[in-house]
């Protein structure tokens, strides 16, 4: 089954404790992206990757890191999480970022930073 898999589904952590949210897709997609979703603010893009070893900042990249060493994986790293990073996170992928490409989203990771 074609899908984007995120882990973990839920995560509670404390301020300053490094964490990684994994994202993997099995569709051989070139483009991958991370979003966060907050009430009243909608989906905001954190980082995206056009291909292996190619990443770029989205609208809200501060406090986050990503890497794209393999085509299928695009982990999101929070080196020193803070409470304002409490949010619902989504990974998404598409064939490329052309004008008619739909995004496939993962099921989300609900992160709480205490």
Subset of residues 58 to 87 that bind other proteins, contact rule: CB under 8 A: 58-59
Q: Is residue 4 part of the contact set for other proteins (CB under 8 A)?
A: yes
- The string of DSSP codes covering 10-70 is EEEE-TT--EEEEEEESS--SEEEEEEEETTTEEEEEEEEEETTEEEE-S--TT-EE--SS
- In this structure, are residues 64 and 76 in contact, taking their beta carbons and an 8 Å threshold? yes
**CB-based burial, 42-55: b 16+ in 10 Å, e otherwise:** eeebbbbbeeeeeb
Residue 74: closest CA among 19, 10, 5? 5
Minimum distance between the CB of residue 86 and other proteins, rounded to whole angstroms? 15
Q: Is residue 26 part of the contact set for other proteins (CB under 8 A)?
A: no
Minimum distance between the CB of residue 80 and other proteins, rounded to whole angstroms? 26
Judged by CB, which is closer to other proteins: 62, or 100?
A: 100
Site string for other proteins, 44-63 (x = CB under 8 A): xx--x-x-----x-xx----
Q: Is residue 1 part of the contact set for other proteins (CB under 8 A)?
A: no
Interface residue list for other proteins (CB under 8 A): 4, 31, 35, 40-45, 48, 50, 56, 58-59, 88, 90, 92, 97, 99-100, 102-108, 110
């Amino acid at each position: 089954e074609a899908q984007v898999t995120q882990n973990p589904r839920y995560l509670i952590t404390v301020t300053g404790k490094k964490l990684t949210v994994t994202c993997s897709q099995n569709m051989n997609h070139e483009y991958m992206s991370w979003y966060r979703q907050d009430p009243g603010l909608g989906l905001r893009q954190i980082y995206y990757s056009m291909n292996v070893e190619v990443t770029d900042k989205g609208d809200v990249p501060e406090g986050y890191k990503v890497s794209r060493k393999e085509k299928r994986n695009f982990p999101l790293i929070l080196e020193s999480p803070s409470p304002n990073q409490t949010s619902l996170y989504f990974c998404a992928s598409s064939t490329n970022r052309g004008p008619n490409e739909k995004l496939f989203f993962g099921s989300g990771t609900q992160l709480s930073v205490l």
